[in-house]
Each structure stands twice: as structure tokens, then as C-alpha cells.
Structure 1
Amino acid sequence: MVCCLALTLAVILIEHVYGRPPLHPLPMKDGCYMVSPELKLFRVEGEAIILSFPKFIRVLAVRNIGTPDSKYFITKDDGVGDVAYDGEGRVQHHNKQLWFLPAQPSDSGEYVCTYRNETYCVTGRMSLHVYESSSVDMKKLSYPIPAIVGERLTFKCPYLSDFNKTDSLIEWYKGSSLTTIQLGLEGSFSQDKGNLVIPAVKESHAGLYTCQLKVPINDQEYKVSRVFLLRVRDLAIPTSTTVPDPSTTSNPGLINKSSYSTVHTPVIQPPVIVSPLNGTIYESLHGSGLEMFCKVFTGCQMANSTVVTWLVNGQSVELSYLDERALQGGRRVTRVSEGCQIELRLVVIAMTEEDVMTELKCVTQNQGGGQEVVTQLKLEDSTFTWLVVAVVAVSCFLTVVSVFLYVLLKPYRKKKMDYFLARQNSTF
């Protein structure tokens, strides 16, 4: 009993220390476990859409449910009855994906992906909204991107991993009228491996950007596009200024030295990153989840205007290679002594070899200035973990053997002691 308890505590300790959180139970409905809904998709008609369910697939992988040959069913819940799809026609079902070649406004709705075997039934949901091209508001399709005047910004055309694409075929446009961006014009824009690069952001760069390409599917070409809305902020620090005081003279043209008054603008303190520390390395086992928090201290009056964000290899989480395996959010502001603390969470669903030495930055900025802290991801060597388990298991085994031998030899020792005492008594 003691051995089992010690082994259980060791496993729990390893899970929490080395980044493997306990699996939370999933809610159940109509006999099926329900995965939390996927992010909503907003697209425009006439383009190819591949509907996948990354959260759903991750839940199955983490719980070791399903095999490469497992069957998945994707249906559309239209409120009357589920509509199933096959592998032919305009809408095609391919294993864990649904292809729209091309999409139409009538494709808008709720889609359900189901995995079922003799033991488990798991479902995932996703909402899709397809706009008509003649009435679409580009801002509704856009991914918001914040930027600061002077910073270097790299746009990556996201959510294209399901398509067979070539980076050189990605074209970039600015504005809702799809005006082609002139690369290299006055050093404003350049392109690197299909990414749009702005070496130094200006206020004039704010606005809508579209990346567009044609992808081959079933020997045909289909258009695919993504839209960004770039918001630019100028965080110049205000300083004290000296201005003439018109109340001291009736003639503005006759202003002497004594008629000046000084207007003092309060000095805004820059935010300070409390956690993590610069150079922190986050370690986790392969396939395990990892949760990180960026904690920033600032004045409470500046809390709402203080920007806090995570960057992956210098890019926003949504535009990085981690976009399908990482979630950023849960911003929380709490009042502490002499100020407020802002907390922003970053969750990596499952670590892989691809994440080794990935650079994560916590960046914060307000009108008083900014700060950034650089951290790294690293895969934990499972050898030490299993060594700990092995040591605990061997200790438990030796304890059980010792107790067994003690119980086994105790009657023999008692009998031998009685015989020795009897001999002494007879001799005496």
C-alpha cells in the first residue's frame, strides 16, 4: 500500500514539474465526449477552403485515442438533420478534413467531426461563415496586427499548411481595392520567402493587407487569400514644454520673458516585466503541454493602454509556425501594492522536436517606454524522468522484499531463542 502510494506521488510530481499536466475530463453529450469548439472561420466565396479540426485532433493524440487508419465522420448541423459528405463533388470529405472546391455562401454553418469506436465517441465543432464577394466587409475577414512606429514587422500568410503551396507564388496587396504592393519602393516593403517585410513601420503603413495565391488541388487551381488589418501606434514620450501664457498680456505680439508659463506633463513610467526572467528556458516532455505566464507591473492608470504580447521567433503567435499548437489569451489585470499587474498566458498544446530552441519573447509597451524578455523552449530528456520512476519502483520493491523476509524469518528466530533459554535453565 505504501509502495503504490509512493509511486503514484512520484508520477504526479513528475507530471507537474516536467510540464505534463493532468488530463481534464471532457464533457459528455448524447454518449459522446465533446471537445471545446474550434476558432470560427470567416472566408469569402469562390476560394478553396480546407476545414480541419486541430483541437479535436490534439485531444485524440494526447489521450492516445485512434490510429492512422481510424475513420472520422464530418457532418453539417443545419438544425434539421446532419448532412454527411463523401469524397467527390464540390464538397469533399477526406479523412479528418472537409474540402470546399470552391466555397459558396450556402456552406456557412456549424460542422461536426466525430470519431467513434467500440470504446470511445468524441466530437469536435467548428463554425464557418462564407461571405458573398460583392458585399463582404474586408475588416470582418482580417486578422488584427498591432505595431509600433519604427519597429520591423514581418507578415506571414497564415493557415496555409493544409495546401500545397509555393512561397514564391504568394502575392501581396494593400487596401480593400487590392492594389499591388511595389516591393523595394523607398525601402518601405520587401519580401522574404513569401513573407512581407516592413523594415521600419510608419503611421502611413496602417490599413488592410491581403496575401493571395493559387493552389493546385485535383489538377485544378483555386484561389486562396488571407487579410490583415495593421494598426500602428506612435508611442513618443511626451515631455515638459514651455508655452506663452496669454492671460499675462493683452497683446500677444508683446510677450516678454516673464509672460511664459511652464506646463508640466506627468512623466509616465515604462512597464516592467516581473516574470519570466530574461534567459528563462521552459522545458517539457515530448507530446506534453506547457503553460507560461508573462507578468507585467505598471501604473493602474496606464494598465488599459499597456500592450502585452508574446512573440514566437519575432512573430506574433497567430503568424508563427506555432499558430495551430499555441493559444495566447486570458489577459488579466489585478491591483497590487503601488500599481497593477497585467498577466497574459501562452499555452503550447503539445511539444515536438520542431520546438527545440524556439525563441519566445514577452513584449510590453506603453507611452512611457517598453521592455522585452527573451526565453526559449526545450524538450526535456525523458531519461531522467524514467530514472526517477525506476528508483522509486526499486525502493518499493526492496521495501516489500524486506517486509516479506522479516515476516518469514520471525517465527524461526523466536523458536531458536526459546531453545537457547531452555538449555540455560536446565544447566542451572
Structure 2
Amino acid sequence: MVCLFLMLMVVTITCAYGIPALPPLPIKDGCNQVESELTMVRLAGEAVILDFPIFMSVVKKRKIVPPAAKYQISKTNQTDGIVFHHEGRVQQHDEQLWFLPAQASDSGNYTCTYRNDSYCVTGNITLLVYESTSVDMTQLSHPLDAMMGEELKVFCPSLSRFNYTYTQIDWYKDSSPTALQPGREGNRGSLIIPAVRRPHAGLYTCKLTVLINNQQYKVSRVFKLQVTGPEYEITPSNPVPEVSTTSDPGLLSTKAYRTINSLTAQPPVIISPVTGTVLEVSPGSGLDLFCQVQTECQMADSTLVTWLVNGQSVELSYLERRALQGEKRVTRVSKGCQVELKLIISVITEEEEKTEMKCVAQNAGGRSEVVAQIQLEDSPFTWLIVAVVAVFFFLTVVSVFIYVLFKPKRKKNMDYFLARQNSTFSV
């Protein structure tokens, strides 16, 4: 009886709440297609590790583990059916392709396929490799905006695939052949500008040497700094601070730097999201975040709004391959103007659990910021198991109660007769 009730309850819960299935992937040439990765742009002569983060997150989320299947990476514009191996200048290591070093001829569209006799899934990415003598470095740069007076600390981006723990990282500004001087504060390999000014705008390049298979290879990254905010007069008492780099590990800057504020301007107010907001997202899905800021209309154009991921700019964070900030939008509202900035994350993985998403708004009147946190939704299977266990215990308790309630009872007269009879025979 208990088992029957339990089975009926499980069927009822499943029918009532259901287990939402993931949307099917589009199919092309008999293979399931994952959306394209963000284009990777690199410099010839440097080590490049090509990977497929969106593709891998989909494979993991859908638990696609076909028996005897392997990752196969190919260059889709190749006609000779080239196959990459674990040796040579271009090597395949599972779902990664290593270029040691990369050449301009490596540019093209690459496809990663996971296939067996019954299932196939594939993803693709475009790699652009430029010669250093023939490319505008802005094409290789990560954009970065900063407000006048802001303290800026930048780490060399997109190095997570390399082991550079004991590597010296040098920074250069624009086309200068001389590296910036290291400072005494900050994290190893970071670039520090104590108080951003207009002359600090420009291209910054970080360069390092990495060790792969006991051989040294060059790696560099570029970002373009744009400075926004009101102009101010440079005087001997208010000079342009020096830009410095850091090489000492583990030391965080504790110096306080003055920010240029107007006496009349009001600081921006972030109306959405609210600090403490928890963003529940299902793994494998995308996420659109909107930061809405209210400010005076005359300050709207100069108001800087940006998203930070765990305290780092999106372009320099671990999400830089899967996230993109949209264009700033300004609209008039009843109490001034509203500035809106959209952040698009193409796919959410388990890595985003507890990730802090911070929206920062700053203008001449001051600075405001709010922090939201990503939390992964529990799987429907988890809730189903919890419900089944709860129903099982409930039905067990009910069954025991019913058994005790309707248990046959002996008649007192019969018990008394048997007791007298036993006492008579004992005499």
C-alpha cells in the first residue's frame, strides 16, 4: 500500500511540476551546433592557446559524454583535411589548440567537434593573427574607461591559460620602447595610476615570457584607456601623477588618492539593481543585466557607468570571452535623465556561482556603486528527490499511525477467563 501511494505521488509531482528540458540545439550537417565563441585576436610570433569556453559549458551542462568520443579540432577553411596532433608548432590538447608560436597564416575559423556513432555536437571560433608591423594595435586592444581622478589598477588580461607565476610582467605605454617603472605597492604585474588624468589616455601593453614544454614564448596583451570627466588645470600643486607598475606579490595599495569633485554637481544614483540583489540563473542559460542610473541631464554624457566582475572590469576579468557590455543609453525621465548600461553574458556556467557583479556610476558629483550576486538555480531533479523523500517519510508515518489505530485488541473477559483457568490448573 505504501509503495503504491509513493509511486502515485511521484507521478503526480512529475506531472504537476515537470522537469523542464533544455531547448534543442540547431542541427547542421547532422551535428548539433553551439553558438559561436567571441572572436580571438592575437599577435604573430606569440604563444596562443585557443579554447572553446561556450562549447565546453554546453557539453558539461547537457552531460554530453558519448562513449569512446574525443574532441576533434579542425580549421574549417582547410581543404586538405589537416589533423592536429600533440606535437609540432600547432598542437591539440583535448579541447584546446596550442600555437607555438602563432603565425598570420593561422587566421581562420576553427571547429571543435565531439562525436561518436550516435551523437555529434560542434562549436566554432574565429582566430585573427596579425603581424606586429602591419596592424593597428587598437585592433588588439581591450577597451577600458576611467573617470578623471579615479585610482586605477589593471592586471594583464587573458593569461589564465598560461603558467606565469614566476614571470616578470613589463608594461609599455603607446609606442615607447621603455618599460614603465615598477612601483612599491600593488599586486604583482599590475599597472597602477593613482589618479587618472587626461594625459594618461592611450594604449598600454603588458609583455611577458611563458614557459611551455620547456621552451620560452612571448605573450602580450593590449588595452586602450579612455578618460572621461571634466577638464581641470594642471598646476605644480596638482600635477599629473606618475604611472607605475608593481612586482611585489600580495601587497595591496592602501594609499588614499583625491578625487576631483564639483561643489555643485550631485552624485549619480543607481536605481537598479539594488545592493544585495541575488540573480538566480540556470546553468547553461544566458543573462542580461541592466544598470540604471539617475542623474542630472547636464551630467548624463559625462557620467561613467560600468560593470565589474569580482572587482575587475569585464574586459579584463575571467568572463571576457563570454561577456560584453552594450552601448550607454541616455533617456529623459520625470526627475532628470536616466543612464542605462547593459551587460550580456552569453552563457552561465558553474564557475559563476557566488560571482559578484558590481555596477559603478561616477561623474564630477561623486561615485555610487551597487553589488549583485549570481546564484545558480537548483536542478529540478534535486527538488524532485527532496519531494520523493518527504512523501516517503510522510506515508511511512501515516502507515504506522493507521496500523496502531486499527490494530486488533484482545477482549478483557477472555483475558480474565484465561487467567482464572491458568490459576485453577496451577492449584
Please, what TM-score do these two structures have when normalized by structure 1? 0.71
* Secondary structure of 2:118's aligned partner: coil
Deviation at residue 393 of structure 1 after TM alignment: 7.6
Contact 1:35 1:124 (C-alpha < 8 Å) held by counterparts: yes
Query: Are 1:198 and 2:190 an aligned pair?
Result: no
Whether contact under 8 Å (1:273, 1:295) holds in the other structure is yes
Q: Is 1:98 paired with 2:97?
A: yes
What corresponds to 1:55 in structure 2? 54
2:127 corresponds to 1:132: no
- The corresponding residue for 1:225 is 220
User: Offset at 1:333?
Assistant: 4.4
Matched, 1:7 2:7: no
Asked if the contact 2:146/2:228 (under 8 Å) is kept, the reply is: yes
Residue in structure 2 matching 1:318, options 308, 311, 315: 315
Q: What percent of counterpart residues are identical?
A: 50
Q: Which residue identity lines up with residue 126 of structure 1 in the other structure?
A: I
More divergent stretch after superposition (142-151 vs 369-378) = 369-378
Aligned match of 2:3: none
> Is 2:230–2:302's contact at 8 Å kept on the other side of the alignment?
no
Pick closer, same or farther for the CA change 1:87–1:272 going to 2, 3 Å: same
Letter aligned with residue 290 of structure 2: F
Kept in 1, the 8 Å contact 2:44–2:131? The answer is yes
Q: How does 1:122-201 map to 2 (within 5 A)?
A: 122-166=121-165, 168-184=167-183, 190-201=185-196
* Matched residue, 2:277: 280
- Over aligned residues, Cα RMSD in angstroms? 3.7
Listed as ranges, the gaps of 5+ residues in structure 2 are: 1-7, 233-263, 399-427
The aligned length equals 356
Shift, 1:374, TM fit:
2.3
Q: Give the structure 2 partner of residue 307 of structure 1.
A: 304
Indicate how the Cα distance of structure 1 residues 332 and 71 shifts in structure 2: closer, same or farther if over 3 A, else same: same
* Partner SS, residue 293 of structure 2: strand
**1:210 corresponds to which residue?**
205
Distance 1:303 1:150 in 2: 18
Alignment of 1:78-93 (within 5 A): 78=77, 80=79, 82-93=81-92
Corresponding residue of 1:414: none
Unaligned runs of 5+ in 1: 16-21, 238-266, 403-428
In 1: Cα distance, 2:325 partner to 2:266 partner: 25
CA positional deviation for 1:34: 1.3
Q: Relative to structure 1, is the Cα distance of residues 69 and 231 closer, same or farther in structure 2, using a 3 angstrom cutoff?
A: farther
Query: What is the CA–CA distance in structure 2 between the aligned matches of 1:334 and 1:9, rounded to whole Å?
Result: 44
Do 2:61 and 2:283's aligned partners in 1 also have CA atoms closer than 8 Å?
Answer: no
In structure 1, how many angstroms separate the alpha carbons of the residues matched to 2:45 and 2:269? 48
Tell me the residue number matched to 2:357: 360
Contact between 1:77 and 1:83, CA under 8 Å: does it hold in 2?
A: no
1:133-162 deviation digits (Å, cap 9, x = unpaired)? 222221111111111122121211122122
User: Is the 8 Å Cα contact of residues 138 and 176 (structure 1) preserved in structure 2?
Assistant: no
Deviation at 1:116, TM superposition (A): 0.7
C-alpha distance after superposition, 1:324-380 (max 9, x if no partner) = 5x5243557485752546252353844547854x43311123465542112344567
- In 2, the alpha carbon distance for the partners of 1:300 and 1:81 equals 60
Q: What CA distance in whole angstroms lies between the structure 2 residues aligned with 1:207 and 1:220?
A: 33
Q: In structure 2, how many angstroms separate the alpha carbons of the residues matched to 1:214 and 1:190?
A: 23
> Counterparts in 2 of 1:244-255, with a 5 A limit?
none
Contact 1:37 1:124 in 2 (8 A): yes
